[in-house]
Amino acid sequence: MKVDAVEFASLLCSRLCHDLLSPVGSINNGIELLAIETDEDMRQQCLDLLADSARTSANKLKFFRLAFGAAGGFGDKVDVREAQQAIEGLFSNNKRLELGWMVAEPMLAKPAIKVLLNLAMIAGDTLVRGGKLDVGAEIHLDRTEIAVRATSDRLILDDNIRKALTGDLAESELTPRVAAAWMAHQIATQSGGEIQVSEPDQPFLLFGATLIG
């Protein structure tokens, strides 16, 4: 499937703006309330709202810069601690989500980091009732293997996201919602690798990605 770069950029921007709309909107609401509120207790609640929303916005922006942008320095590899911190920040408000980090490598190539982050974000979004998110990666010679597993009593993965990850999505079905999955697939396949997704009838969700080079 070939997609115009400008068209994809617009879809991805739409997705990022959608994800930032809620915390940024909360900041705006908090400022408006603070301007008219005179009760000290209520003003403190407004300040707490502002602090929480600002923290959420900053965490999302840090994640997006690493997952979609050019963050991580000017070298070919990225410190995996940056990726871990980005994932922890992204899901910091979800107290029902437990993150298991199983990446022994100190550094990963930028394309691998982007695939890992996008798969972690997608898997985390399926945990609508909370659960366990396990993220692992290791290097074998010229191959980087990534595994992301979501475990919960309820998992929801949009079928179009599944198809975007495996390369089965039609061009007409590409939307902002599936842009991250499509990007991860493109990065993996352009390296000569692939992304695999567990079957829908499994009691867990497992993403496996291989990047070569």
- Per-domain boundaries in the chain: 5-212
Strands 107-109 and 77-79, bridge-based pairing: antiparallel
Please identify, in words, the CATH class of the domain defined by 5-212.
alpha beta
Per-residue pLDDT of the chain (213 residues; tens, 9 = 90+): 567 788 889 999 999 999 999 999 999 988 988 888 888 898 898 899 899 999 999 999 999 999 998 766 557 899 999 999 999 999 998 889 999 999 999 999 999 999 999 999 999 999 989 999 999 999 999 999 999 999 999 999 999 999 999 999 998 899 999 999 999 999 999 999 999 999 988 889 999 999 998
Judge whether 103 and 80 are in contact, CB under 8 Å. yes
Tell me how far apart the alpha carbons of residues 140 and 104 are, in angstroms, rounded to a whole number.
12
pTM: 0.92
Task: Please enumerate in sequence order all residues whose Cβ is within 8 A of that of 112, keeping only pairs 6 or more positions apart, or say none.
Answer: 137, 144, 146, 211
Taking the C-alpha atoms of residue 68 and residue 65, their distance in angstroms, rounded to an integer, is 6
Torsion from C-alpha of 43, 44, 47, 49, nearest 10 degrees: -100
